[in-house]
């Protein structure tokens, strides 16, 4: 029988980092994240968090979309940039037929 040598996660390390930060700070919303550095074992990402209850946020028309109730838990649904990339939603049109609307709807044939 064949042995399993490595576990390949379905999510990127960046997406997992965003989820961990969102779990640690439930009152804040994850806007995005970016790579900071890595060593032989760990990868480090800086996660940008937004407080939807802050007056400067909900009064600013450019960013107050994140205060909507539909934006709660956006990192868990893969709506951040890292989540969309991990779900294969960076592609459009030809070649992306099995990626949209989701991988599960096409029996995970897209990745």
pLDDT digits (tens, 9 = 90+) for 8-30: 888 999 999 999 999 999 999 99
pLDDT at residue number 9: 85
pLDDT at residue number 82: 96
Q: pTM value? A: 0.86
User: Going by C-beta distance under 8 Å and a sequence separation of 6 or more, which residues neighbour residue 81?
Assistant: 32, 33
Residue 45 neighbours by CB distance under 10 Å: 20
pLDDT digits (tens, 9 = 90+) for 58-97: 999 999 999 999 999 999 999 999 999 999 999 999 989 9
With a cut of 60, say whether residue 1 has pLDDT above it. no
Cβ–Cβ under 8 Å, residues 14 and 33:
yes
User: Going by C-beta distance under 8 Å and a sequence separation of 6 or more, which residues neighbour residue 35?
Assistant: 14, 43, 44, 45
Residue 29 neighbours by CB distance under 10 Å: 22
Domains of the chain (ranges, CATH numbers)? 13-106 (3.40.1120.10)
């Amino acid at each position: 029988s064949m042995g399993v040598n490595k576990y390949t996660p379905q999510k990127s390390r960046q997406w997992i980092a965003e989820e961990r930060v969102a779990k640690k700070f439930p009152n804040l919303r994850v806007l995005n994240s970016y790579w900071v550095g890595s060593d032989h074992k760990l990868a480090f990402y800086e996660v940008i968090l937004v407080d939807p209850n802050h007056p400067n946020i909900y009064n600013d028309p450019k960013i107050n979309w994140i205060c909507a109730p539909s934006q709660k838990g956006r990192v868990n649904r893969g709506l951040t940039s890292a989540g969309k990339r991990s779900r294969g939603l960076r592609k459009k049109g030809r070649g992306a037929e099995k990626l949209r609307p989701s991988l599960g709807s096409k029996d995970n044939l897209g990745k």
